Amino acid sequence: MQSRALVLFSGGQDSATCLAWALSHYEHVETVGFDYGQRHAIELDQRPTVLANLRDAFPDWSARLGDDHFVPIRELGQLSDAALPRAAEIRMGAAGLPNTFVPGRNLLFFAYAAAIAYRRDLTVLVGGMCETDDSGYPDCRDDTLKALQVALSLGMDRRVVLEMPLMWRDKAATWQLAHELGGTPLVEIIRRDSHSCYVGARGAGHEHEWGSGCGSCPACELRAAGWQRWRALHRAPQSPAAARAA
């Protein structure tokens, strides 16, 4: 059995759910985050909060949770004219992809992650990429990541396994997975502390039943719609904040 994993952990809903998934599947789990000059850098600020609250709420997971790595690759933002690294408006591009697509981003992330994993003797790389409910980014596709697994294994001359627990889950199923892994306490940590909003809206005036954000960017719309579908399907208990607001 593979027992040591590295999770690509951005501080968003998907990667926070993947971290919980890894902590319930592997004996030792480390995390890595990337600063590529993303406009929603507030996501990175939420990483230590999510990690600390997971440790507090889940002692078994805390014992498995190892080092957190941080890689600055700001050059990516200079190479790309995508909307995430800059303050451009989010819109669809001519190629049918939103201008939030950062060419090469996930390919680079996994190459860096594999290098860290090599040094730390971690055999599994876990990512929150998803083909079901996302923006059609070609570097989130199952085929891309399977090819990358082969390329990294050959290039490192050691077996590297890429696990994508959310690949075939939509956002409602992602909330459901969190509930299955850690019940209401985990859902509440992800709802309250993870950050998905592309424009980095957070704090007073930006709090919603489904978490914090502007409420109107594509990431907020996906997250809100997924939360509402999940709540309608599973009638999960209300979060304390939502109960107070009701």
Which residues are 161's β-sheet partners? 124
**Spatial separation of the C-alpha atoms in residues 126 and 20, rounded to whole Å:** 11
Which positions from 173 to 202 touch Zn ion by CB under 5 A, shown as an x/- string? ------------------------x-----
Asked whether the beta carbons of 131 and 119 are under 8 A apart, the reply is no
Residue placing its CB nearer to Zn ion in the complex, 31 or 38: 38
Residue placing its CB nearer to Zn ion in the complex, 44 or 117: 44
Q: Encoding tokens for residue 65?
A: 């949770």
Q: Which of 220, 222, 223, 224 binds Zn ion (CB under 5 A)?
A: 220
Asked whether the beta carbons of 140 and 100 are under 8 A apart, the reply is no
Segment contacting Zn ion (CB under 5 A): 9-17, 28-36, 86-94, 220-228? 220-228
Q: Find the shortest distance in angstroms from Cβ 202 to Zn ion.
A: 10
- 84: contact with Zn ion by CB under 5 A: no
Q: Find the shortest distance in angstroms from Cβ 101 to Zn ion.
A: 17
**Spatial separation of the C-alpha atoms in residues 18 and 101, rounded to whole Å:** 21
Residue placing its CB nearer to Zn ion in the complex, 69 or 223: 223
- 222: contact with Zn ion by CB under 5 A: no
Q: Is 78 helix (H, G, I), strand (E, B) or coil?
A: helix
Q: Where are the beta strands (DSSP E) in 3-152?
A: 4-8, 28-35, 65-72, 124-126
Segment contacting Zn ion (CB under 5 A): 26-34, 77-85, 178-186, 207-215? 207-215
154 φ/ψ sector (left φ>0, alpha ψ -120 to 50, else beta): alpha
- 211: contact with Zn ion by CB under 5 A: no
- 165: contact with Zn ion by CB under 5 A: no
Per CB under 5 A, residues contacting Zn ion are 197, 213-214, 217, 220
